[in-house]
Amino acid sequence: MGYLVKYGYASKEDIDKLILDILPNVLDKKQKENKVINLIYAMHKKDKTLVNKGTSRKPIWKKFV
């Protein structure tokens, strides 16, 4: 959330850059990508902490206010 507070929004690519490298190395690349997708989904659908202001193909994630 710190990134969103600082910059206001994040693209899927921004989120990938932030999170993929810090996930455990026991996961392969596809597993890491799925983990990021699941995290975004949980924050968007379940927690309601993220909102997509872009399109489904080019999401722009913003902190829900």
pLDDT tens digits, one per residue of 36-49: 999 999 999 998 89
pLDDT at residue 30, rounded to an integer: 96
pLDDT mean over 1-22: 91
d(CA 62, CA 23) in angstroms, rounded, equals 22
Distance of CA 34 to the CA centre of its chain: 11
pLDDT at residue 64, rounded to an integer: 85
What integer best gives the mean pLDDT of the chain?
92
Helix intervals (H) in the chain? 2-7, 12-19, 29-41
Per 3-state DSSP, the chain is made up of helix, strand and coil in percentages (nearest 5) of: 55, 15, 30
pLDDT at residue 55, rounded to an integer: 92
pLDDT mean over 19-27: 94
**Residue 43 carries which DSSP code?**
I
pLDDT at residue 14, rounded to an integer: 94
Query: Terminal CA-to-CA distance of the chain, rounded, Å?
Result: 12
